Amino acid sequence: MNTQFSIRHIQTFLATSALALGLTIGCASTVFAQVQPQSYESIQYITGGIGNAEQNEMKSAEKDYNLHMTFSAVKDQAFLSDVAVQIVDKDNKKIFDAANTGPYLNVKLPDGKYELTATYKGETRKHAFTLAKGKTEKSVLRWPTE
């Protein structure tokens, strides 16, 4: 009887320890989440900003990009993600296409004239801009939400 009691205690302890370790690892990966640089053809970009850690990373990385977009709701200015973004150049050639961006999107573009099209839940917003040497573009696009 005493041996059974000890085995049950050990099993409970091991199960509890495994659960605690799993939760710790899960939380740590959330706390230390890193925004990963990505590319579309030769265009480099980062997107994210969900949670304070990612927001801080996105803001810290702004210096490396010349286009800075934020997507939010009109009514409460809540951040929006899952925004599809396309950018065309002055010749209407698509140079950037990403399906799930936001709430922040930083893109490194060559100098030139561009039009950005952003779509959230079927509603589209357009933003035309010009980038010249040393110039950055910062804009917020907003959508109505329910």
pLDDT digits (tens, 9 = 90+) for 65-116: 999 999 999 999 999 999 999 999 999 999 999 999 999 999 999 999 999 9
For residue 110, which amino acid is it?
Answer: P
Is the pLDDT at 31 greater than 70? The verdict is no
Q: Which pLDDT value is given to residue 76?
A: 92
pLDDT at 28 (0 to 100): 45
Q: Strand 83-89 relative to strand 67-73: parallel, antiparallel, unpaired? A: unpaired
pLDDT mean across residues, the chain: 88
| Ranges 29-33, 44-48, 76-80: which has the least confidence | 29-33
Supply 29's token pair: 């990966």
pLDDT band for position 142 (cuts 50, 70, 90): very high
Overall pTM surpassing 0.85 (yes/no): no
Other CB atoms closer than 10 Å to residue 32's CB: what's the count? 8
Contact 102, 118 (CB under 8 A): no
74, 66, 72: which is closest to 46 by C-alpha? 66
